[in-house]
Chain A
Amino acid sequence: MRKEVFRADSVTCTRAGLKLLDNFSLHVFEGEVLGLFFADNRGKDEFVGLATENRAIDYGRVLFMDRQVNSYNAANSVRPGAAMRIGYVSRTEGLIGDMTVAENVFVMRRGFRKYIINKSVLTSQFAALAEEYGVSLDGSVYARDLSMADAYIIQALKAVVDGSALIIVRNACIEYGDPELTKFQQQVRRFAERGVSFIYISGDINVLTGVCDRVAAVEGGRVIRVVDRSEYTAEKLRRYHFSPGRMPVLPEAGTASMLRFDKVSFGSISKFDFSVSEGECVLLWDRMDRIRSDMRSLLSREAKPDSGEIRVRGAQISKSSGAAHISYIREVPTRSMIFSEMSCLDNLCIRAAERVPSLWMGSARRTVIRDEYRALIGDSIDADSPQGLPAESLYDLVYMREYIYNPRILVLERPFIETDIGLRMHIMSLIAMFKQRRTAILIIDSSTTDSAAVSDRMLIVGGSGITGERALGIEEGME
């Protein structure tokens, strides 16, 4: 007999007229690791919100530990948040860097009521807990010094201590083939053997088949296929594998240096020395994901380097010059770089208006932009608001906005994170447009799986700065 921990039964959720979860049915057994692969990204946020916050649903029912906790019939639902102890491990949740591992696990949890914290007691308690779950970590280490895998393991351990019978792991940003991923997944299996269930969400089917007992493929907001471990064959999973052979062919880079880091040090960045040429795409592979915020501060000129120089087209970067030639697209730009209260056309023109302030005076120039870019973006350019538009259209808005701005340098922060296969191809074609225009492109990413496929060179970031460099071709992108 296998106890059921979680069951979603014909769940339908509609937001802004779009069915994000459509007759969605899923169940998870005790001690099982269930993989969720969202083929088109629809419903992922909604599902996580449903599981972690017990959000209201339009139809269906949700059961946790065989008890109905949510239903379309409000009379049969329980208060949100009170019903399900479900942990959540993701890159964004994180730990408090200035606290030790033991403090993060025991102090930062609901129900902790002590006023005086005895660190040695915490450390010894953590040691006992770690031994019980096979976690080989020292409780006195600060969370900021943890590797990515260790950080995820501690988040999961924290959820277990909190009484979670089910833990959702979302896009643990460790690359397939990385020993860190193997370490994390081995720990997940140890937790599962102790009866903790997992729902593991990832956009890489290889990551899922490496650890999950079953993998459920979700498309259009509903589960279309559940594949058991015994059926993990190339034939059954071929549809979910990403093939770099389909990516667009990129033009060769030029020689004129657009962006130059000359022994730059700042925060986590230590003596970075590299350049990006015109039309070249360079991948800065930061496996530990430590330099993103520092790079963002430097390239947007919010901060100056502690040492060294940053040059754009030979001139030192400053807020008035240099920085104006740089466009920076953050990770998951559809969340932070789209203005829902503006129309799509205004969203598109907002950056160009920095160069042409008269763009807002009258509609003639914006009409020209609309007509010119309709062929690239489609009819969504006429939408009054970006809300409800599909992901491809939103990415079009963000990238085309910068394309109109025409920067010399384009910086992309983890461009493929939380994207499905179709969307990745689409983003690659958008990047190719910038390359065609001879824009220098710098990608900052902790995973190479997709970014390497569009890059000409890869710079490997280690503790002491850039520790290695590799030239990349189409074949190399899949290593």
Chain B
Amino acid sequence: MDLEADIVVIGGGMAGLVAGIRATEEGMKTVLLRKGQSATAYSSGAIDIIGYLPGGTVPLGSPVEGLQGIASMFPFHPYGLLGFTDATSDTVSKTIVEKVRTAVSWLKATLLGSSIPLFGDIDSNLDAVTVLGTVKPTCMIQETMWPGSLMLDADSVALFAGVRGFPVFNPRMAAQVFLEHQISNRLPPRKAGHHVLDLAPFGNNYNISSIEIARYLDNEDNLSVLAKTLKKQAERIGATHIALPPVLGFNRARENQLALQDLTGAHVFELLSFPPSVPGLRLQRGLETAFVNGGGTLLVGHHAKMESLESNIVKEVTAVGPRRNLKISTKAVVLATGKFIGGGITGTENGIRESVFDLMTVSESFRIATSITPQKLTNTIALTHMGHPLFGSGLSVDPQFRPITAEEVHAAENLYAAGSVLAGYNYPAEKSGLGVAIVTGYMASRNAVDYVKGVSA
């Protein structure tokens, strides 16, 4: 045996890292395998808990409101599963809300001392502004991304500032979309301007990526040029708030934000953006740092390989790396391999498959999906508030978050699953991706830890 572990976590996105950090906190010897870049690193960095009820079109005022709705209407939603306890039914929704609150508060505390402190809580959703100028409900954002009083203060004026040669963000169109939206909803601001900054971080003023700008701004000396122009432009239109693409740095984002606010006199914030996403990468790094600092073993570039699940207990996982295979003995496994981006779930013309253990997959409505053609799980309309059921497919789990078989029993007594490998929720439509990852990662880890402690006792 090459490595010995109490818990092996397969997958290094939000769910896996939460599970891993929690396990190390409980004194477990934890090994975490990350195959490649996670969907968390691709994410906007905003932490959605629940923005819309499944199929809903009204943005939820708070995650608590959404969780209560799920408790009564969607018992098999991953959040709904949190309510399956021995307690009586009238406390189901309270149980769910409290479990989510515990996990979310824990995450916030975990990242408190890091370079990416979080803003927000489950008692209200925030309106986050995107690089398109659209607004979406989300629960928590990194403090550098909080728009402050922009949409509350009747006299606020927004300046959208982009960078020449950085095509992800067109400040003119974003300002227009945002202003049209706010005006039609009779909300401030009533005025928004735009400007394009000449930054050329590494010489070129074309094909600039957010990563380049963030690295450039991690150097303290480079902020002053930006600040001077921003100040001038903000004064030109009387801007009280300045919206930037999320490029304020990997290490110095918060310091840069505060410095820019000092220099311009306006509230400066980062917009939500698309991959490659600096805030997503910041989140990934922050979590990995917490995991490693807590004593966890991180194997990057390794994926898990299993012969097959023959016994009722997983005792060994093979980690396949570029030049080596490691055999890891373990007492429990948390499967957090993600959906199609992460590779935990795959689809061919013959059906939907789970990629490590070949577990049974189900559709969003819990029909067995191992032989459903992916196309059958899609709608004709590309973008709808219903989402595509394909992205709600995955694993069906018991209330312990253990994957179940067609016979409706757990596939192994020490195998737990968390995050988007789970079925029964449609994160792109509901805006619940990282939230489900955090809470299920937290719970799956707790169950795995309890199991290991029980076995060891």
Is the A/B pair a real complex?
no
Residues of chain B at the chain A interface (Cβ within 8 Å): none
A residues with a Cβ closer than 8 A to B are none
